[in-house]
């Protein structure tokens, strides 16, 4: 059954109570309506005469909590507390507070068992007492706070650079879960234990964490990387240095910073999955991981590469590199005889244009934003999509390649930043994939 209500002005905020019976909404001029779904009626409940920035029901079983509806407005960041009559749906104002937020209030959250409410804004979060309507505490920091919400026996406060947990049983103590800047004081062992318990409790209840801090919390729970294992990882890194330098000596884009990040990433991968060396050579693993170490944050690159390795995101070991290169050359000849003839006249080998693009995962020719698009399509459509991307890159840059006069210039072009759009290359690759499905390197083994 459909129940329709048309407001005279655009609705800007809405809220539903815990039972799902009442719906409150406010339009841009500050009128607040309450809709009773069980009795199919609505009522103009109250007016605040200003744009409403947040609207919420206070669902409390405590008899001493008389507040039933909370609204925040843009004018001086005022918080309005109303007593809501469930029979008439009218709201009477209890108190209106001009709070100390310097930015617009974005959300409110309640812990009705302890008669508390928080108002969150970009600059800070304030904890309010629902009985006295006074602020108990201001949670602020030089870092910008994004949100604060209540969970079972705790309050989680998320900042741009830090994560705080406030235990409801000891509200005067603020437990620091994570912060980039090190503090001089050390956490108590009991607090460290409670932080882990809180993280597990949040995971069990909500099944997810704020997206920006998800990797950090998962790493804390799983103990990755374990501080006790740092010596093993450092020892493994030292063993990898000579072999990696020999493997990557021809790659001009490897700076010392990139090399250090790649070395750390490989050491962690090999430490947490030693059998990875049974599946591929360290040379292939280094070439595979380098673009992620270069373009992604350290924690993200480790999780991303580990998940790809677990899912065997590599070419079939039975398919030799020469077969893949022969496939690319043959498809290129079928798509552009002019370009294939130009390569033949300049004595351009398959490895001169294919290998630089594939071993660097296109990270040399595309900027970070375009590179992530390439990466997304390769992960989605599988490693074989590399073949189509290489051919698509050559076809889209055909005019430039035909003007080059030496083999070295073509090799340099495939290892230098290009002005070519990744969207055009991807579109061309998908067009090729539709023409030559399924991809079979063994059908192109004959020399030409």
Mean pLDDT to the nearest integer, 96-122 = 75
Evaluate if residue 339 carries a pLDDT over 80.
yes
Contact between residue 420 and residue 397 where contact means Cβ atoms under 8 Å apart: yes
Q: What angle do CA 168, 174, 179 make, to 5 degrees?
A: 130
Q: Token pair 């309640």 is at which residue? A: 110
Rounded to a whole number, what is the distance in angstroms from the first to the last CA of the chain?
Answer: 70
pLDDT on residue 39: 83
State CA 165 to chain mean position distance: 22
Q: Token pair 């597990």 is at which residue? A: 200
Helix (H, G, I), strand (E, B) or coil at 78: strand
- The DSSP line for 223-248 is TSS-GGGHHHHHHHHHHHHHHHHHHT
DSSP state of 114: G
Contact between residue 133 and residue 94 where contact means Cβ atoms under 8 Å apart: yes
Mean pLDDT to the nearest integer, 45-61 = 83
Nearest C-alpha neighbor of 27 from the set 44, 40, 8, 42: 8
CATH topology of domain 1-102: Thrombin, subunit H (2.40.10)
Q: Is the dihedral of CA 385, 390, 391, 395 positive or negative?
A: positive
Give Cβ neighbours of residue 428 (< 8 Å, ≥ 6 apart).
388, 391, 392, 395, 396
In this prediction, residue 266 has a pLDDT band, given cuts at 50, 70 and 90, of confident
Q: What whole-number distance in Å separates Cα of residue 324 and Cα of residue 333?
A: 14
Contact between residue 421 and residue 300 where contact means Cβ atoms under 8 Å apart: no
Q: What whole-number distance in Å separates Cα of residue 323 and Cα of residue 387?
A: 11
In this prediction, residue 279 has a pLDDT band, given cuts at 50, 70 and 90, of low
Q: What is the pLDDT of residues 282-291, one digit of tens each?
A: 766 777 777 7
Which is more confidently placed, 139 or 403? 403
Which is more confidently placed, 268 or 177? 268
Query: What's the whole-model pTM score?
Result: 0.41
In this prediction, residue 247 has a pLDDT band, given cuts at 50, 70 and 90, of low
- What average pLDDT is seen over the chain? 71
Q: What whole-number distance in Å separates Cα of residue 121 and Cα of residue 103?
A: 6
Q: Token pair 């003839």 is at which residue? A: 341
* CATH number assigned to the domain with residue range 321-444, chosen from the 4 options 1.10.3470.10, 3.40.50.1980, 1.10.472.80, 1.10.287.70: 1.10.472.80
> Where do the domains of the chain lie?
1-102, 227-310, 321-444
pLDDT on residue 18: 79
Evaluate if residue 344 carries a pLDDT over 60.
yes
In this prediction, residue 407 has a pLDDT band, given cuts at 50, 70 and 90, of confident
Contact between residue 42 and residue 24 where contact means Cβ atoms under 8 Å apart: no
> Tokens in use for 390?
């290489």
Q: What whole-number distance in Å separates Cα of residue 329 and Cα of residue 442?
A: 13
């Amino acid at each position: 059954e459909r129940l329709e209500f048309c407001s005279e002005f655009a609705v800007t905020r809405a809220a539903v109570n815990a039972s799902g019976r009442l719906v409150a909404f406010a339009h841009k001029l500050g009128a607040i309506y309450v809709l009773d779904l069980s009795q199919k009626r609505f009522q103009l409940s109250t007016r605040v005469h200003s744009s409403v920035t947040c609207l919420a029901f206070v669902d409390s079983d405590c008899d001493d909590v008389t507040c039933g509806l909370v609204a925040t407005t843009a004018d001086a960041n005022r918080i309005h507390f109303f007593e809501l009559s469930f029979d008439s749906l009218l709201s009477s104002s209890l108190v209106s507070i001009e709070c100390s937020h310097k930015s617009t209030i974005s959300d409110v959250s309640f812990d009705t068992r302890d008669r508390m409410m928080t108002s969150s804004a970009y600059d800070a979060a304030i904890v309010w007492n629902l009985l006295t309507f006074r602020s108990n505490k201001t949670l602020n920091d030089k870092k910008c706070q994004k949100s604060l919400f209540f969970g079972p026996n705790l309050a989680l406060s998320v900042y741009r650079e830090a994560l705080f947990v406030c235990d409801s049983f000891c509200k005067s103590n603020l437990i620091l879960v994570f912060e980039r800047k090190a503090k001089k004081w050390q956490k108590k062992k009991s607090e460290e234990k409670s932080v882990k318990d809180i993280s597990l409790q949040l995971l069990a209840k909500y099944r997810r964490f704020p997206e920006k801090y998800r990797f950090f919390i998962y790493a804390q729970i799983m103990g990755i990387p374990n501080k006790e294992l740092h010596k093993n990882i450092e020892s493994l890194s030292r063993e990898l240095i000579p072999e990696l330098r020999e493997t990557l000596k021809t790659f001009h884009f490897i700076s010392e910073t990139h090399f250090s990040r790649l070395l750390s990433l490989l050491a962690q991968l090999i430490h947490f999955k030693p059998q990875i060396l049974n599946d591929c050579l360290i040379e292939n693993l280094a070439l595979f991981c380098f673009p992620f170490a270069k373009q992604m944050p350290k924690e993200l690159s480790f999780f991303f590469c580990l998940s790809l390795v677990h899912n065997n995101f590599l070419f079939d070991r039975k398919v030799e590199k020469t077969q893949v290169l022969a496939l690319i050359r043959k498809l290129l000849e079928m798509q552009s005889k002019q370009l294939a003839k130009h390569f033949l006249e300049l004595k351009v080998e398959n490895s001169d244009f294919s290998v630089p693009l594939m071993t660097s995962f296109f990270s040399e020719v595309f900027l970070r934003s375009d590179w992530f698009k390439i990466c997304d399509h390769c992960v989605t459509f599988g490693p074989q999509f590399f073949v189509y991307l290489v051919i698509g890159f050559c076809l889209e840059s055909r005019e430039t390649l035909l003007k080059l006069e030496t083999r070295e210039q073509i090799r340099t072009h495939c290892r230098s930043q290009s002005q070519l759009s990744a969207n055009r290359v991807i579109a061309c690759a998908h067009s090729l994939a539709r023409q030559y499905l399924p991809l079979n390197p063994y059908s192109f083994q004959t020399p030409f």
